[in-house]
A and B are shown apart, each in its own frame.
Chain A
């Protein structure tokens, strides 16, 4: 049940329970800024349901992935601010 998954967020190892979404792992890594807007403002998740695109991060090299809709997997590499 409480299986732990290890992934890396901006190089930092984060341990989360199975079923955690990537957005939550980013928050658990202590980050609030997921991306910068076109004018450079800090942004983070708004809608939590895949609509607003504010939670976009890079997951295993794939840019613009919605972190609120993606479940954490072992050894995932997540980068914010790209």
Chain B
């Protein structure tokens, strides 16, 4: 895979559950298939570390199935955007790649949603999933006092995981009120495996305060996190910690689909029953089409892979399972909907755009994302608005309508492949 120009029938971007399932389905149906991922690992964020130390039977099965399929893996392959017709511009550590596709399946997954509050930029504040990923790859957490805050089922899962690694979990703080979590638990009766999983996780963090209706309001510390102030709306208190893991749920990685011209619906890629997007030959699966978790992603990926192989008929029997997991996603979204207070945590001087250091008061004076970008450079730094753009949607109701490639920082040689071809 050292040639700079590669050609496949089906190209899948993202090696999480959706991408693995899509690549397996396409390759097993005889398509010349490539699976691309930004990282050196298979499994995406949710199955991070499963390749080296498999503990999750479902993840192990899919990684094994992928290995047996004839799909090619292009890891450490950062996709920068569309090139000329039906080509992706990408780069690997050893240089640029142009990857031609006939059908393209986008499975770029989700990222954690971060909302600004005073002190949130201090080193030692992570996304919960981010800290767990880093800890699986050697970040020292043993003996560290960690506060978890924000929202979503990830808080409990990460608290449990970090505690197994020897961390001292000070408290877990979920912004959603207890009443909503109780009705969510009742709904989980329809998904007994998930209910059992939640109960198991809760048991592993017994003794650690798990609070509902509580959110972070400020981080204290000079050059790193020393303590976090929390609030339940009427009372404010401070808890000392070495690390804070705070995320407010997940947001889809829609930059590449937008760069390809895919239409969105409510912030997610719009797809038809076969997972096809509005762009001919381009499919989307997993968190891109709605936050639903690994099970929804697997079945969507499989449907997309079958449809991209011309086997729509084989995809149909999977659609009922997809509908069930989408209902699960909707129940999650309702249970962990964000309260208004968490959109109002930033002070005037709080940095919202971390790349360009743009303060809250500067940003809020503009009518929309585009105006604010033009005047303040917010969203124009290294992360291309991945962090502050998602926050601005919650803070100001601004939507990101378009994306300019490259969707990630790139080496110049990766962006002008024609000239490189002439040289070689």
Q: Which residues of A line the B interface, CB within 8 A?
A: 16-17, 19-21, 23-25, 27-28, 32-34, 37-39, 41-54, 56, 64, 68-69, 71-72
Contact = CB atoms under 8 A, between A and B. Distances in A.
Contacts of A53: 355, 381-383, 409
Given A24-B134, A41-B357, A53-B383, 4 more contacts: A21-B139, A32-B223, A48-B134, A64-B409
Given A19-B52, A49-B111, A52-B387, A43 B138 contact: no
B266 interface: no
Contacts of A47: 111-112, 114, 126-127, 130, 387
Given A32-B223, A46-B130, A46-B354, A20 B137 contact: yes
Interface string B114-143: 100000011111110111111001111000
Contacts of A41: 121, 351, 357
A82 to B, nearest CB: 14
A42 B383 CA distance: 17
Given A20-B138, A38-B357, A48 B127 contact: yes
Nearest to B133: A48
A23 B134 CA distance: 8
Interface residues of B, number: 40
A48 B124 contact: no
B129 A49 contact: yes
A65 B386 CA distance: 17
Nearest to A35: B123
Contacts of A20: 137-138
A38 B351 CA distance: 11
Contacts of B357: 37-39, 41
Contact of B224 (A21, A32, A52): A32
17 contacts: A16-B138, A19-B52, A23-B139, A33-B224, A37-B357, A43-B354, A46-B126, A46-B127, A46-B387, A47-B126, A47-B387, A49-B45, A49-B127, A49-B129, A51-B383, A68-B130, A68-B133
B410 to A, nearest CB: 11
Contacts of A16: 138
A5 B327 CA distance: 46
